[in-house]
């Protein structure tokens, strides 16, 4: 039971349908779509499209998308991988010839072919109910008529003023008057509205062919990119088989690699090797979660890649023996100093949406441009922000995630779904780049191991390991001084997090009472809302 004397929020409860997003406009849009006769997929796409307008630093139609879908609240989970591939002409030699050891952020080489619109149109065609024009209408209206700037959106926007100023088209759209819009000001994106109208009328061809594609390719080429119109015209995502693990009787489902969802399952498998008697936010429990994450992330950085282009040992990563072997490395009296090499995790920007409709269709939907405002490059005619997902590639020869033509990078964005006893239990997700795998495991373990209120689990203080072999951990200021001191005494280097860590949305189905419960991230502007 929630402590009503604490400054938190209650879970949202409803009988018919529920939506949880990180922005009020998006949540309201989802509810309006559902009440107009749309289903969960219609509502998820509509809400996401709105966020591509009103949260431009977090997501956009020039990004990528992953989704999990459980029809009628059953245990069958459908997965879609809407991540884009590199241009056919982009090779490791291109980087080597220029002496580059990493993919630069504000460069066309960081832009894989965006997969979001392909995912939206395919998922809508296969599972939606309303027309695509009806689904995109709210986003078009906000882009055309304007939207008020909310606090978290302003905070993230202002931090990227320098990035946006470096691209003329980006500055013209996103720095009106030479600065980021302030809280309460109204911002418009008429060029994006026109692009969304074209997509509403023409479907995927409105984005991947014709004037919009020509605009994106021309802008990328002008900055030295190797993208072609053929790269865009032939882009497509795919339905994939989810990866699944059992966590204390709950089946947890994730999209398979090239996403890092399997790493969330690995963390849960490691945690399942320990009992759940530790206090949920004690130094011992946090120590366990930190070390499980460090071990799992080392495995991620060694092996996760595009399975079409590399051998990804999925069965080994999911095996009980592998998790048990890693669990034996954890000593709750001191931090580990021996780990496989892995690169420092970073926090990125994404939006996550969870929706369950009256028929109990459940959608777990995530859309991202990676860094805030992606590359900071904006196609001047169409108003499309171009993501920087290509920065997730390795430029090390022989690495499974080495950049190559028509290859998808290791992806951080991961929707989640939980089933039990043949029914959907929970649609959930955690934003925050590389934090997402840890965030998934942290959230599910708190709800399952401790029967925590979903909102209370989301509101708990967060931390994330960032140091590889060095046991450095970023912690939010809400982690208690006593806990920080205890973890420090065990050899962890605790440093303050520069930004709030991650963001979560959850909808849970209460089959016994026939109702729904929703929770939304307090670190963001959004909310859960049902009817």
The model's pLDDT over 22-39, given as tens digits with 9 standing for 90+, comes to 999 999 999 999 999 999
Indicate if 195 belongs to the active site: no
Q: What is the model's pLDDT at position 434? A: 86
* Cα-based distances in Å from 372 to 60, 332, 346, 378, 389: 10, 36, 12, 13, 11
Contacts of 341 by beta carbon, 8 Å cutoff, 6+ apart? 298, 301, 468, 469
The model's pLDDT over 197-252, given as tens digits with 9 standing for 90+, comes to 999 999 999 999 999 999 999 999 999 999 999 999 999 999 999 999 999 999 99
Handedness of CA 77, 83, 88, 91 (dihedral sign): negative
The single residue of 29, 245, 350, 375 carrying the catalytic annotation is 350
> What is the C-alpha to C-alpha distance for residues 345 and 94, in angstroms, rounded to an integer?
26
Q: What is the model's pLDDT at position 344? A: 41
The model's pLDDT over 62-85, given as tens digits with 9 standing for 90+, comes to 999 999 999 999 999 999 999 999
Q: What is the model's pLDDT at position 346? A: 44
pLDDT grade for 467, boundaries at 50, 70 and 90: confident
Asked if 124 contacts 132 with a C-beta cutoff of 8 angstroms, the reply is yes
Least confident of 275-284, 346-355, 371-380, 473-482: 346-355
């Amino acid at each position: 039971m929630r402590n009503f004397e604490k400054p938190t929020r209650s879970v949202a409860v409803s009988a018919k349908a529920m939506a949880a997003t990180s922005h009020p406009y998006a949540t309201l849009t989802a509810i309006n779509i559902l009440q107009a006769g749309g289903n969960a997929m219609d509502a998820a796409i509509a809400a996401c499209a709105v966020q591509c307008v009103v949260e431009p630093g977090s997501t956009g139609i020039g990004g990528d998308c992953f989704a999990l879908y459980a029809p009628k609240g059953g245990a069958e989970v459908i997965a879609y991988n809407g991540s884009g591939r590199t241009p056919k002409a982009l090779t490791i030699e291109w980087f080597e010839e220029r002496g580059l050891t990493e993919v630069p952020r504000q460069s066309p080489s960081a832009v894989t072919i965006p997969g979001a619109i392909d995912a939206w149109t395919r998922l809508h065609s296969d599972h939606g109910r309303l027309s695509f024009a009806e689904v995109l209408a709210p986003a078009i209206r906000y882009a055309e008529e304007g939207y008020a700037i909310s606090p978290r959106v302003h905070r993230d926007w202002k931090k990227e003023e320098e990035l946006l100023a470096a691209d003329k088209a980006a500055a013209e759209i996103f720095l009106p008057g030479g600065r980021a819009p302030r809280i309460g000001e109204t911002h418009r994106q008429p060029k994006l509205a026109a692009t969304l109208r074209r997509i509403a009328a023409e479907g995927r061809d409105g984005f991947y062919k014709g004037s919009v594609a020509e605009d994106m390719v021309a802008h990328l080429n002008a900055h030295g990119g190797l993208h072609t119109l053929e790269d865009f015209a032939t882009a497509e995502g795919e339905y994939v088989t989810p990866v699944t693990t059992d966590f204390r009787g709950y089946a947890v489902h994730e999209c398979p690699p090239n996403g890092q969802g399997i790493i969330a399952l690995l963390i849960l498998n490691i945690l399942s090797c320990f009992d759940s008697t530790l206090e949920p936010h004690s130094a011992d429990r946090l120590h366990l979660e930190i070390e499980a994450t460090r071990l799992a992330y080392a495995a991620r950085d060694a092996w996760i890649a595009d399975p079409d282009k590399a051998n990804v040992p999925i069965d080994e990563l999911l095996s009980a023996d592998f998790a048990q072997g890693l669990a034996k490395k954890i000593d709750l009296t001191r931090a580990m100093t021996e780990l496989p090499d892995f690169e420092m995790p970073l926090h990125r920007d994404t939006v996550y949406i969870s929706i369950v409709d009256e028929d109990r269709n459940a959608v777990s939907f995530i859309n991202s441009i990676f860094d805030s405002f992606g590359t900071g490059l904006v196609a001047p005619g169409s108003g499309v922000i171009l993501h920087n997902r290509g920065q997730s590639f390795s430029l090390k020869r022989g690495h499974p995630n080495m950049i190559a033509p028509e290859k998808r990078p290791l992806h951080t964005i991961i929707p989640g779904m939980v089933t039990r006893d043949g029914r959907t239990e929970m649609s959930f997700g955690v934003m925050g780049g590389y934090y997402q795998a840890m965030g998934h495991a942290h959230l599910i373990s708190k709800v399952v191991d401790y029967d925590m209120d979903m909102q209370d689990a989301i509101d708990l203080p967060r931390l994330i390991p960032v140091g590889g072999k060095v046991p450095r951990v970023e912690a939010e200021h809400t982690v208690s001084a006593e806990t920080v001191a205890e973890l420090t005494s065990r050899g962890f280097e605790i440093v303050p997090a520069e930004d709030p860590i991650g963001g979560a949305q959850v909808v849970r189905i209460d089959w016994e009472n026939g109702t729904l419960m929703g929770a939304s991230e307090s670190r963001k502007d959004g909310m859960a809302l049902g009817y």
